[in-house]
């Protein structure tokens, strides 16, 4: 009976030994990926901001708050179509940034389609990749860092300029009790396209720029606090400045009109929900990548030791004494 038990323990030890690396180096790279049908809504606010009033003679004015509602929806059908030709797991995110003034009226809307590798978050170039209807070919990451983010600089795509530039790793931080990596990107003053959705109906941005000679310029300081396990930002802030130059702004001081200036932050209720979501996903990724393989490895050592101990103990047992011979 003891021999049978030691053989069972030995078989379990062999199973754990084989399954631990299989889980870590085969299952994890295939299972750790962004789901194609993800949906997320985020509300950001810029309090005490400056906003151009288009109805009052193009005059910048201070406002209590500008709200940005961001929606992100995974396009499952589009991802399947692209996967067929790409030969890998692809995620297609259709996003919309809806900017609303203090009176609740729309300031602008900017849609995006972001196509990327579900495992690595590297961009995948396919028909439909765009920002505000303009075709783009992204370089670098956007919205999310890779799983197990490294403490180094990355290329980060800025939707306003339609270009990628380095986002710099500043160092480790503790944010709301979470250990994160902190990154900063500074985009200098750059001429950018006017949004196709303008506060005044019937204005075509291309025609507006050509006929008035007015151009839109933008700069930003972007800050991200990133969970290094999931690669998801637990907080994001931007200090944004936009201004019109030339044309309609020629009569303004220095020939510039502030279109928007403010410090954009996540609304606290959405920030708290984001932290909870990232913490839950972090546990799942660590279980698959670290906890389960290590647990199986430790179990294999323990089971193997028990099997040897039982085998050795069985061998040390004295043989049963022979009974008296019968006549």
DSSP-assigned letters across all residues of 21-79: HHIIIIIHHHH----TT-EEEEEEEEEEEEEEETTTTSEEEEEEEEEEEEEEEE-HHHH
What is the rounded distance in angstroms from the CA atom of residue 108 to the CA atom of residue 215? 16
DSSP-assigned letters across all residues of 217-243: EEEEEEEEEE-TTT--EEEEEEEEEEE
Q: What is the pLDDT of residues 98-132, one digit of tens each?
A: 999 998 888 999 999 999 999 999 999 999 999 99
What is the rounded distance in angstroms from the CA atom of residue 247 to the CA atom of residue 209? 8
Does residue 7 contact residue 310 with C-beta atoms inside 8 Å?
no
Does residue 295 contact residue 4 with C-beta atoms inside 8 Å?
no
What is the rounded distance in angstroms from the CA atom of residue 217 to the CA atom of residue 31? 43
Looking at residue 327, its pLDDT comes to 43
Looking at residue 319, its pLDDT comes to 54
Q: What is the pLDDT of residues 255-266, one digit of tens each?
A: 889 999 999 999
What is the rounded distance in angstroms from the CA atom of residue 312 to the CA atom of residue 9? 14
Other CB atoms within 10 A of residue 317 CB: 8
List Cβ neighbours of 18 (8 Å cut-off, separation of 6 or more).
none
Looking at residue 318, its pLDDT comes to 60
pTM of the model: 0.88
Give the helix/strand (H/E) hosting 302.
helix 292-316
Looking at residue 29, its pLDDT comes to 82
Collapse the DSSP code of 215 into the 3-class scheme (helix H, G, I; strand E, B; otherwise coil) and give the result. Answer: strand
Q: Which residue has the tokens 């279980």?
A: 287
Looking at residue 267, its pLDDT comes to 95
Task: Give every residue of the chain whose pLDDT is below 70, as ranges.
Answer: 1-10, 13, 56, 307, 311, 313-327
Does residue 235 contact residue 271 with C-beta atoms inside 8 Å?
yes
Does residue 216 contact residue 189 with C-beta atoms inside 8 Å?
no
Strands (E), 54-177: 59-74, 90-100, 106-117, 130-131, 134-135, 154-158, 163-175
- How is residue 105 written in tokens? 């009226």
- How is residue 51 written in tokens? 């906003």
Half-sphere exposure of 72 (CA within 13 A, CB side): 18
What is the rounded distance in angstroms from the CA atom of residue 186 to the CA atom of residue 308? 62
What is the rounded distance in angstroms from the CA atom of residue 97 to the CA atom of residue 71? 7
Q: Residue 130 pairs with which residues in a beta bridge?
A: 113, 135
List Cβ neighbours of 212 (8 Å cut-off, separation of 6 or more).
247, 248
Phi, psi of 8 (to 5 degrees): -65, -45
Q: Domain limits of the chain?
A: 2-24+285-315, 32-266
What is the rounded distance in angstroms from the CA atom of residue 257 to the CA atom of residue 246? 9
């Amino acid at each position: 009976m003891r021999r049978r038990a030691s053989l069972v323990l030995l078989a379990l030890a062999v199973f754990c030994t084989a399954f631990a690396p299989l889980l870590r180096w085969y299952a994890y790279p295939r299972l750790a990926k962004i789901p194609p049908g993800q949906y997320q809504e985020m509300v950001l606010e810029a309090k005490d901001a400056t906003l151009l009033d288009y109805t009052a003679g193009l005059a910048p004015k201070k406002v209590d708050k500008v709200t940005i509602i961001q929606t992100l929806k995974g396009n499952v059908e589009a991802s399947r179509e692209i996967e067929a030709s790409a030969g890998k797991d692809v995620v297609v995110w259709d996003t919309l940034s809806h900017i609303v003034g203090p009176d609740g009226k729309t300031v602008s809307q900017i849609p995006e389609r972001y196509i990327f590798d579900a495992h690595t978050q590297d961009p995948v170039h396919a028909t439909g990749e765009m920002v505000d209807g303009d075709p783009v070919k992204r370089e670098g990451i956007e919205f999310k860092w890779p799983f197990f983010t490294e403490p180094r600089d990355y290329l980060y795509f800025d939707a306003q300029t339609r270009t990628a530039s380095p986002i710099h790793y500043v160092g480790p931080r503790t944010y709301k009790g979470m250990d994160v990596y902190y990154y900063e990107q500074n985009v200098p003053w750059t001429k950018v396209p006017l949004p196709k959705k303008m506060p005044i109906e019937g204005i075509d941005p291309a025609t507006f720029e050509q006929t008035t000679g007015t151009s839109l310029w933008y700069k930003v300081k972007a800050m991200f606090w990133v969970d290094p396990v999931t690669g998801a930002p637990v907080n994001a802030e931007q200090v944004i400045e936009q201004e019109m130059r030339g044309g309609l702004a020629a009569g303004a001081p220095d020939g510039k009109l502030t279109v928007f200036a403010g410090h954009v932050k996540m609304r606290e209720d959405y920030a708290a929900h984001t932290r909870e979501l990232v913490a839950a996903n972090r546990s799942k990724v660590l279980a698959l990548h670290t906890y389960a393989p290590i647990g199986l490895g430790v179990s294999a050592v323990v089971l193997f030791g028990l099997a040897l101990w039982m085998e050795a103990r069985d061998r040390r047992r004295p043989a049963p004494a022979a009974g008296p011979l019968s006549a």
